[in-house]
Structure 1
């Protein structure tokens, strides 16, 4: 993604942290219309303050910039949340 990073709304970070903590399998919808199913591993913040979700899918490990995510839906049974729409918004 070449555009200026748009931070995710602060309250939405909790869902990503839960997904990583429990290594949920997620259906991830991207802003460009693509989607993938992957296991949430961790999050990462770069020195330039861009934030990423690190996942493992059939294609291997991937870094997904948080402002490229449209929504996440847990595929793991008994997950602590359902589909969450994600939108960039400064804290």
Structure 2
């Protein structure tokens, strides 16, 4: 589970619909637009991104890092500590 401080970055990304590059713990990379946070059908806390026109639910426990792919005054990247 990610910390409350780290969760704040997810909320900022969703509020501004930032384009993201996510690296998961298994090394896979997912790109998309931050949309919202919520829960999947397995009741896991997730970051919801739009990828190829479809919503994708990415469990927060699988996040290794997040990079915002545009310049912005808020933040550019976060490394998650599980």
Q: In which range does the TM-score fall when normalised by the shorter chain?
A: 0.7 to 0.9
Normalising by structure 2, report the TM-score: 0.88
Query: What residue ranges of structure 2 are gaps of 5+ in the alignment?
Result: none
Moved over 2 A (4+): none
What's the counterpart of residue 77 of structure 1?
Answer: 71
CA distance in 1, matches of 2:52, 2:38: 21
After TM superposition, give the deviation of residue 44 of structure 1 in Å: 0.5
Query: What residue ranges of structure 1 are gaps of 5+ in the alignment?
Result: 1-6
After TM superposition, give the deviation of residue 87 of structure 1 in Å: 1.9
Point out which structure has higher relative CO (alpha carbons under 8 A, 6+ apart).
Answer: 1
Q: Which residue, out of 37, 60, 67, partners 1:43?
A: 37
Normalising by structure 1, report the TM-score: 0.80
Q: Which residue, out of 46, 51, 56, partners 1:62?
A: 56
Say if 2:22 and 2:65, in contact at 8 Å, map to a contact too. yes
After TM superposition, give the deviation of residue 76 of structure 1 in Å: 2.2
Structure with greater proportional strand content: 2
CA RMSD of aligned residues (A): 2.0
CA distance in 2, matches of 1:62, 1:27: 13
Question: Max radius of gyration: which structure?
Answer: 1
